[in-house]
Amino acid sequence: MPAKALKVIVTRRLPEPVETRMNELFDVELNVNDTPMDREALADAMARADVLVPTLGDRIDQGLLAQAGDKLRLIANYGAGFDHIDVQTALQRGVMVSNTPGVLTDDTADMTMAMILSVPRRLREGNLQMQKGTWEGWSPTALMGHRIGGKRLGILGMGRIGQAVASRARAFGLQVHYHNRRQLHPDTESALEATYWESFDQMLARIDILSIHVPHTPSTFHLLNARRLKLMKPSAFVVNTARGEVIDENALTRMLRAGEIAGAGLDVFENGNDVNPRLRGLDNVLLLPHMSSATVEGRLDMGEKVIINIKTYADGHRPPDQVVPAML
């Protein structure tokens, strides 16, 4: 099918250059108001589109896919994660799913490193004092944080982002430890000076900072549960820029409030933007609005990947970033 004849529906506003290019290539329907589509609007879009371009906030489950029109043949996700899409059901219905892997690795790793630096050094508390005008001047014992050089960083998930974090962490003098489904190749492990732990539990008991870099799947839901949190040192910190569902947020909140975990940096939350109110206002917690991938360059690169996936499909080929069963 000629690309221009494809009906492409985009569920949210994308960067202007991306939308302009889509307009040039496809028969595109944009969400100019950037209002999140409710279930009814998503169902309507899926009934009319050849290609749907959803984002992380669009939950495309079995029920919605059952309402999809016969035209729908590609869900070109704007984002690397695809846990909000029932990929198995889509494939069973003959609908391909693609994503945008790789382009946000450095952006996410940079933000992770920023949080690893910020939380132990109490940057949030210092900033609040300055914003509120309560700073009374320098004191030898004020806002004493912790040096990160020499500390043990435990990385859960050593894919592209985990390895990028490890590389940055070494430059700051952190000792890198990791748990992964499979041990890295010895050459990669050596280059990162990383120590592999087959047991996640044993690693947790020995590290000073945990950084999470695994997707949300049934096997990773609440992987960091109350029992595992209790294995960590009371002086340890937790940083999560991956998926909120990996942590039992209620258990983490209880332990943070009780001083059983020293602090946390969270860019993602178990219930999306419905953040546990007991997390808000804690001095030892840095909360960010899912912004680890929010760079101009990264979002443009994501859009370019979406366009390439759609254009490749229009040319009669499989999208280069198709999600296949082995990835699930």
Residue 326 has pLDDT above 70, yes or no: no
Structure tokens at 134: 């309560």
Average pLDDT over residues 266-291: 94
* 180 and 121 both lie in a single domain: yes
**Reported pTM:** 0.91
Position 328 confidence tier, pLDDT thresholds 50, 70, 90? low
Nearest Cα residue to 108 out of 302, 321, 248: 302
CA–CA distance, 328 with 168 (Å, rounded to integer)? 28
Give the DSSP letter string of 37-86: P-HHHHHHHHHH-SEEE--TT--B-HHHHHT--TT--EEE-SSS--TTB-
* 50 and 116 both lie in a single domain: no
* 120 and 166 both lie in a single domain: yes
* 27 and 130 both lie in a single domain: no
Q: Which helix (H) or strand (E) holds 127?
A: helix 123-132
- Residue 52: its pLDDT value, please? 98
* 97 and 113 both lie in a single domain: no
Residue 281 has pLDDT above 90, yes or no: no
Position 5 confidence tier, pLDDT thresholds 50, 70, 90? confident
* 63 and 210 both lie in a single domain: no
Write the CATH number for 69. Answer: 3.40.50.720
Residue 325 has pLDDT above 90, yes or no: no
- Domain encompassing residue 274: 105-287
* 137 and 277 both lie in a single domain: yes
Residue 259 has pLDDT above 70, yes or no: yes
Three-state secondary structure readout of 236-300: CEEEECCCHHHECHHHHHHHHHHCCCCEEEECCCCCCCCCCCCCCCCCCEEECCCCCCCCHHHHH
What pLDDT, in 10s, does the model give residues 178-188?
Answer: 999 999 999 99
Residue 97 has pLDDT above 80, yes or no: yes
- Residue 58: its pLDDT value, please? 96
Residue 1 has pLDDT above 70, yes or no: no
* 63 and 116 both lie in a single domain: no
The one-letter code for the residue type at 320 is P
* 22 and 159 both lie in a single domain: no
* 143 and 273 both lie in a single domain: yes
* 161 and 267 both lie in a single domain: yes
Domain count within the chain: 2
Whether 233 and 178 have beta carbons less than 8 Å apart is answered as no
* 89 and 126 both lie in a single domain: no
